[in-house]
Structure 1
């Protein structure tokens, strides 16, 4: 998954998982769905700590690769993945372990109106200025 905060990445994933047969949906939700944001949830509350961001990205990648190596039928990375370098390790590991990779971009990251929408609806109170910077940096290639 790729997209700005509030662009609908997690919603897309939920809809996709719900479209799968029940056994696959349960398996994916429990063992194949990874998001660095989930590591910032403490006792049910999202508590972002910039000092842990790099460490948590590494943990998320490791968990993702472990799921690939177990042969989970569907493995999803739900991060913003603004730039190619942010998701290339996920893609490379998946291809190396025989998976078909699908990159899904939600919304139009370069669009000013989309950026404003994302600022209004993102769950982590990421301000418009930060979302605009992310949108300008977004690598569509």
Structure 2
């Protein structure tokens, strides 16, 4: 194996327009492509981060809710690298997003915090 990185993370949302606005307007991701798949009655929105990695945002009718608390097996959270966590926290809070207190990773000494997308998906900011 010779893995080069993560290409994308796929997220299924409950309210496509609300989540689309959050990832574009609040997080500032850029639209790569948006497609409606009639056979599935589903949208697929490809969003890019500056490093080339992507988030695929899907809408599916009647998708079951994600179990998050207590923590369940599976993907725990999605973390974004940032240069200055204070600036990014302020930007999120200016959009009305609740952000947890900034903590320090006991192993790396790096600062991080968590917030949630409109469906409660845990997202992390990790200062590099």
TM above 0.5, yes or no, is no
Give the strand-richer structure, 1 or 2. Answer: 2
**What's the TM-score, normalizing by structure 1?**
0.26
Give the helix-richer structure, 1 or 2. Answer: 1
**What's the TM-score, normalizing by structure 2?**
0.28
The one of the two structures with greater contact order (alpha-carbon pairs below 8 A, sep at least 6) is 1
